[in-house]
Amino acid sequence: MNNPGPTLSDFGHDPLWISIIKAVAIFVFLMLGVLFGVWTERKLISRMQHRYGPNRAGKFGLLQSVADGLKMGLKEDLMPRTVDKVIYFLAPVVIAVPAFLAFSVIPFGPMVWMFGHKTPLQLTDLPVAVLLVLATASIGVYGIVLAGWGSRSPYAILGGLRSSAQVVSYEIAMGLSFVAVFLKAGTLSTSEIVAKQAGGGTWDIFGMHIPTPSWYVFSLIPSFLIYAVTMLGETNRVPFDLPEGEGELVGGFHTEYSSSLKFAMFMLAEYVNVFTVSAMAITLFLGGWRAPWPISLWDGANTGWWPMLWFFAKLALAFAFFVWVRASLPRVRYDQLMAFGWKVLIPLNLGWILLAATLQALRLPESNRNGILAFGAVVVIAGLGIWLRFDTVNQRRREARAAEVEEEFEQLREEPAAGGFPVPPLDLPHYHGVVPSARAPKEEVTSGSN
- Residue 442's pLDDT band, with cuts at 50, 70 and 90, is very low
Domain residue spans of the chain: 8-402
Which residues have CB under 8 Å from 359's CB, separation 6+? 369, 372, 373
pTM: 0.81
Q: Are 273 and 235 in contact (CB under 8 A)?
A: yes
Which has the higher per-residue pLDDT, 208 or 135?
Answer: 135
Determine how many CB atoms are found less than 10 A away from the CB of residue 330: 6
212 has which bridge partners? Answer: 201
Mean pLDDT computed over 231-244: 81
418 vs 447: CA distance, rounded Å: 27
Q: What is the mean pLDDT of the chain?
A: 81
- pLDDT the model gives residue 19: 92
Mean pLDDT computed over 273-290: 93
Whether 447 has a pLDDT exceeding 70, the answer reads no
Q: Are 93 and 147 in contact (CB under 8 A)?
A: no
Which has the higher per-residue pLDDT, 177 or 364?
Answer: 177
